[in-house]
Structure 1
């Protein structure tokens, strides 16, 4: 488990992380979301003590990172895919990491095969594409067979097959009881991968919740209705206490009503319905709604 306690980090007058507290529990993939500049990467760097907080602390299964005797056996991480010695081969990059943590050569070969780099293991990492570098970084994260894993934008540079592979890998690792903490800007991917979300904005905690609950609380769900007599149907539904808004293209949007009750009321009043479908917001829409006031860098629409 990762415990973040009252974490604060300043860069001069700018507060990058502001009294941040949350837990990342084992057995599920936890997504880490926030707009650009929200403090996600800084938080992850402080988990690994690459940056020192001005206040607060992070505990990894009850210990600080610096107190871990063999860090790679407890925590695996991918923060920057290109952070490798370009003159080393993929194999020797991993072998160097293994030897500093008491990990045998056999494990190096295992993770190279697991991430699909066995055909290029002898090639210099400096010549790798971003996707290949991502796979090498994931191999390094898996090297010590750790209980805790951190991934910062792990799908960058991966093709569709690679994206599906890393998604399945993270879910499988969580199913084994490991703690998996992943940051990404791809909302569609987080919706498919994560079971729980930590959302921050301007360094502060905005949400700590299950994915389904997050979407439900930060979005608008409704029934979309198409009918040749929208005015009459709106009158009927309104009389029954159902809120009905005007939708695009002549549709109606009924909020807080079940499909069956709308169909029943329409049938009782002899009204034809051509479409009656539930509509729910996506994770992206819910995220945009929650973080609208926390976006630091915003392009102005219509300006070029």
Structure 2
């Protein structure tokens, strides 16, 4: 379990993290989301003892990370896949880490195979592609078979097969009862992988909620109905307690009734229905709306270039 209590981190006059509190529990994949500069990397570095809090504290299984004697046995992390000496081979890099953490060398071969690197185990890391370096970083995280895993942008550089592999890996690790904490800007992957979300902006907590609840909270959560008898059906549905408004594209946007209930009302009153579809915001849409006021680095709309 990871706990963050009233964490504040300043770099001179800049407050990167602002009294942030949350807990990451085992048995689920927790996604860590926020705009660029929101404080995600600082928070993860502080959890791992790489940065010192200005105030507050972070705990790993109830203790500070820096007090853990053999850290790879407790926490496996991938923050920077490039932090490897280029002159070492993948195997020698992992063997050095195994020795310093009192791990059996058999773990080296196992994680090389698990990450698909067995065939390049003796190749120098300087010749690795970005995706291969990423796999090596994941191998390091898995080396100590730890109960807690932290990944920062784990799909970076991976090919489609690799993306599916890491997605399934994280889910399987959580299913084993491990704590899995993953930061990513790739919303499509987070939607497929995470069970729970921690969302921050400008260093402060915005949301700490389940994936389904986060998406459900979006304003877009209705049923779109298309019918040649829109006014009549709108009156029928309103009488049943629904809220009905005209959709911009000519249909009816209905809230307060399920698609089944709407279908039953239409059928009972002889109303033809051409389309009946539940609409719900995607994770990306819900995230964009929630974090809009927290975006620090906003680019110019490309559609406005050249306009006067």
TM-score greater than 0.5 by the shorter chain: yes
Instruction: Give the unaligned 5+ runs of structure 1.
Output: none
Q: Which residue in 2 is equivalent to 1:98?
A: 98
Within-5 A mapping of 1:140-159:
140-159=140-159
For residues 169 and 265 of structure 1, what CA distance do their matches in structure 2 show? 46
SS at match of 2:249: helix
Indicate the RMSD between aligned Cα atoms, in angstroms. 1.3
SS at match of 1:22: strand
Q: Which residue in 1 is equivalent to 2:284?
A: 284
For residues 269 and 114 of structure 1, what CA distance do their matches in structure 2 show? 60
Deviations 1:219-272 (A, max 9, x none): 421111111122332233334442112224322111121223322332344321
Instruction: Give the unaligned 5+ runs of structure 2.
Output: none
Q: How many pairs are equivalent?
A: 304
Indicate yes or no: 2:16 matched with 1:16.
yes
Partners of 1:219 and 1:289 within 8 A in 2: no
Indicate yes or no: 2:214 matched with 1:221.
no
For residues 64 and 175 of structure 2, what CA distance do their matches in structure 1 show? 25
Q: Which residue in 1 is equivalent to 2:168?
A: 168
Structure-2 change in CA distance of 1:99 and 1:219 (3 Å): farther
Shift of 1:20: 0.4
Deviations 1:175-228 (A, max 9, x none): 111111000111111111111111111111111111111111234211111111
Q: Which residue in 2 is equivalent to 1:59?
A: 59
For residues 142 and 253 of structure 1, what CA distance do their matches in structure 2 show? 48
Q: Which residue in 1 is equivalent to 2:200?
A: 200
Q: Which residue in 1 is equivalent to 2:119?
A: 119
Partners of 1:8 and 1:17 within 8 A in 2: yes
SS at match of 2:220: coil
Shift of 1:134: 0.6
Shift of 1:276: 1.1
